[in-house]
Structure 1
Amino acid sequence: MVIKKFRIISISLLILGILLNVITKDMPNLVDKYYSNGINIYSAKFMSKIFSIFPFSLFEILIYIVVLSILIFLIYSIYFILKNPRSTFVYLKNSILNIISIVGIVYFLFIVLWGINYNRMDLKDSLIADYNISHNENIKDVNYDEDDLVSLYRFLVEKCNNARQKVFEDNKNVMRCNTNRKEVLKRANNGYENVNILNLNKRGSYAHAKPIMNSSLLCYTGITGIYSPFTGEANVNIAAPDIYIPFTTLHEMAHQRGYGSEDECNFLAYIACINNEDLDFQYSGYILALKYTASALAKVDYDKFKELSRNLSQSVKNDLNNSSEFWSKYEGKVNEVSDKMNNNYLKANGVKEGTDSYGKVVNLFLIYYSLYEYN
């Protein structure tokens, strides 16, 4: 009887979660105002502070528990079916219902605690609206072309060269952060505190991001960070090259602040990086923006891309080459499967481009600098 009630409640929650997701897709302005910039600010801050009492990533531990539970379930299922072949149908039916029940609860919590953020107003529209309010303007849209993309890449080349001269490097002439990687995570909040657009500096403080214990293992998936909507934790792969650590930290913290789309989180990470007082954060922001912009420019004007890239300092080139060499060691089936899973996850949450959405950040760079100009 208890199990039956549990299933009814769980499946009801699954249906409710689906309905909430579907309904809120058609009301981005309301989601942005009352959920993303209202309820979710307080719930995410509360969870991040509560679970910050654990010095490790609680979400990572939960993942291990889930994986172990699945393995135990599979082993037990095989054992039970072999021992009780006549009860196979009933066992499988009950198992499927139990799995659906668990999925229902998890999905409902995901949607209520954070998932609705995927349905908020596009950051492009928020940037324009924010600019109009602060500058007493009435801009409806921002247009840009290939020349603007060239200007953006030229700007980032110059910024990377200048910033690279001010950061530390190791004995292989590769950039390293000012502090050890765990300490980098503690210095990240400063960036958002200095960002004066979108009221990001008025949201109060969140708990620090956390390092993933098995970061080296995570490299095989190509993942540099994970946000947990169930614990409010921003988790960072600290085994990645140093140029990624500040940017990734602020990317996951953007998720923590209610942004779902990867391109939007990349943009916010960039803005927070270049507004951080620490030079390693600034350089991380510029060089990651450079990588995304380089990819975009190479697709539309490869000759111009090659021409401007010749202006990169040897030190910046060292960092880019080191990054390529590092990730090439982890290419393989695990990386492919992880990428497909991430792609499907994003598409399931309304991000049509899937993992390709990461590169859409260049459009946001162009919009931002069309509004605020280069500085």
Structure 2
Amino acid sequence: MNRKLILPLFLVVQLIGLRILSLFPETVERFYSNGFYPVLAKISRITLGNISFSVGDVIYGIAIFFLLRWFWKKRKTWKAEWKSNLLALIGFASVFYFLFNLFWALNYLRVPMYQKLNIEREYSQQDLLIFTKQLIEKTNSIHSQLVKNDSMKVTLPYSQDEIFKKTQNGYDNLQKKFPYLTYENHSVKPSLLSLPLTYMGFGGYLNPFTNEAQVNNLVPKHNFVVTTAHEMSHQIGIGSESEANFVGFMATIHNDDLYFKYCGYSYALRYCLGNLENFQEDSTKELLPLIHTGILKNFKETQDFWDSHQTFIDVIFHQFYDKFLMVNQQKDGLESYSKFVNLMVNYYKGKEL
């Protein structure tokens, strides 16, 4: 066999193998998510957690440099040697994809959280309306405790480093209810790529190779809090974006700090209002006057931030990431981010917030 075909064929084997493995989530849960992965993640976070800068971002930068250098060197011979060059690229993708799955991405195939929580997967418009009204009441209550009047937006008094440290408290409290959400060995950092991430439309990401949680340090602080908790959930093996949003929400509202609780509840409220509009246009008209003006100002701050950085780059990368999520067992693509509302509504059905 031609040696150049080995790695491309290995990519095909991986895709078939992952498709088969997806049929056995209990096996993935037992041997990978609760077996191999926690050991590997712990080693990575202990090794790199105390380094102040993002090692993963540096590695990505070096990899991109050498990839561009390779393209530059091949530019004159690309047409003549296109088959060989294409096989080389597919071979690189094969190795990358193997390490990606080995170090983290097999968590996409684990047992879904709705099964662990023993709750329904879907909800009705009425269920969502009831939950949203509870969220409004809760968020208004906390907002009133943080500001002098209803029209003031909440401004967090913490630095980004303080937010990183304080997020741990939410996970410490959360693990008392859900031991499998235990978070140890802190490794959360502001991304060196925050400006590109902003124009790509992302608040953060987990580097699967170094297990560092990268947070966009340009986003408004009330978003920074929930994004930090979200990326930390990926570090403990939560693959699905909807589940990571749910765990991030839970970690913030279980935090002892009132500002963190506000960030979590207001974040959830914004998503719920959006999902109500998806059910029926203008269905939130009667709800918006019930929400404190200061909360709506925080919502607008978030919207203005992303609107001010929206370009064609944002559209391209969102289309790419949408397809990436679909390939990795998240059939709803980017819509899976808002699917965490399913988990919230059904988990709190019949319970108090």
TM-score, scaled to structure 1? 0.86
Matched, 1:181 2:163: no
Q: 2:69 aligns with which of 53, 72, 76?
A: 72
CA contact (8 A) 1:225 1:236 kept: yes
1:142–1:110: structure 2 CA closer, same or farther, 3 Å change rule? Answer: closer
Alignment match, 1:133: none
Q: 1:13 and 1:185, CA in 2 relative to 1: closer, same or farther beyond 3 A? A: farther
Task: Report the Cα offset of residue 271 of structure 1.
Answer: 0.5
1:267–1:365 contact (8 Å) kept in structure 2: yes
Q: Distance in 2 between matches of 1:20 and 1:252?
A: 27
1:300-311 to 2 correspondences below 5 Å: 300-311=279-290
Q: Distance in 2 between matches of 1:220 and 1:232?
A: 23
1:296 aligns with 2:296: no
- 1:122 matched to 2:102: no
Aligned residue type for 2:352: Y
SS of equivalent residue, structure 2 residue 256: coil
Question: Aligned with 2:226: secondary structure?
Answer: helix
Give 1:333's aligned residue. 312
In structure 1, the residue matched to 2:263 is: 284
Q: Deviations over 1:316-350 (max 9, x none)?
A: 11111111111111112011011011101101112
Aligned with 1:61 (options 53, 58, 62):
58
Task: Verify the 8 A CA contact 1:167 1:178 in the aligned structure 2.
Answer: no
Measured in 1, the distance between the counterparts of 2:333 and 2:163 equals 29
- Contact persistence 1:157–1:309 (CA under 8 A): no
Aligned residue pairs, count: 349
Q: Look up the equivalent residue of 1:64 and give its one-letter code.
A: G
1:302 deviates by 4.5
2:336 is matched with: 357
Instruction: Confirm or deny that 1:249 pairs with 2:228.
Output: yes
2:352 aligns with 374
Are residues 1:99 and 2:89 paired?
yes
Q: Residues 199-210 of structure 1 correspond to what in structure 2 (within 5 A)?
A: 199-200=179-180, 203=182, 205-210=184-189
Q: Secondary structure at the match of 1:305?
A: coil
Deviations, residues 59-103 of structure 1 (Å, cap 9, x unaligned): 21122222222322222222x43xxxxx953x4333223222221
Residue of structure 1 in register with 2:30 after alignment: 33
Aligned partner of 1:47 among 44, 49, 57? 44
- Separation in 2 of the partners of 1:329 and 1:220? 9
Deviations 1:262-309 (A, max 9, x none): 111100111111011222221111111011100111233445422122
Q: Deviations over 1:116-144 (max 9, x none)?
A: 1111111111111xxxxxxxxxxx85774
Change (3 A) 1:198 1:72: same
Residue 126 of structure 2: which of 122, 143, 147 is its match?
Answer: 147
Shift of the alpha carbon at 1:8? Answer: 6.6
Task: Please tell me whether residue 317 in structure 1 is matched to residue 296 in structure 2.
Answer: yes
TM-score (norm 2): 0.91
Q: Using the alignment, how far apart are the partners of 1:19 and 1:301 within structure 2?
A: 40
Instruction: Kindly report structure 1 stretches of 4+ aligned residues shifted beyond 6 Å.
Output: none
Q: Which residue of 2 aligns with 1:197?
A: 177
Residues 1:302 and 1:12: Cα distance change in structure 2 (over 3 Å):
closer
For residues 143 and 358 of structure 1, the distance between their equivalents in structure 2, rounded to whole angstroms, comes to 15
Aligned to 1:132: none
In 1, the alpha carbon distance for the partners of 2:297 and 2:315 equals 27
1:135 is aligned to none
Shift of 1:16: 4.9
**Cα distance, 1:12 vs. partner?**
6.3
Opposite residue 144 of structure 2, the aligned amino acid is: Q
Contact 1:45 1:207 in 2 (8 A): no
Task: Please say which of residues 286-295 and 56-65 is displaced more in the overlay.
Answer: 56-65
Matched with 2:103 is 113
Question: Residue 10 of structure 1: CA displacement?
Answer: 3.9
Matches of 2:133 and 2:272, distance apart in 1: 10
Task: Tell me the CA shift for residue 191 of structure 1.
Answer: 1.1
**Contact 1:192–1:276 at 8 Å: present in 2 too?**
yes
User: Is the 2:211–2:235 Cα contact (8 Å) retained in structure 1?
Assistant: yes
How far has the Cα of 1:58 moved from its partner?
A: 1.4
Q: Greater Rg, structure 1 or structure 2? A: 1
**SS state at 1:210 partner:** strand
User: Residues 94 and 281 from structure 1, CA distance in 2 versus in 1: closer, same or farther, beyond 3 angstroms?
Assistant: same
Kindly state the Cα deviation for residue 374 of structure 1 after the two structures are TM-superposed: 1.4
- Structure-1 residue corresponding to 2:323: 344
The equivalent position to 1:164 in structure 2, one of 119, 124, 143, is 143
Task: Judge conservation of contact 2:113–2:243 (CA < 8 Å) in 1.
Answer: yes
CA RMSD, 1 decimal? 2.4
| Runs of 5+ consecutive residues of structure 1 not aligned to the other structure | 82-86, 129-139
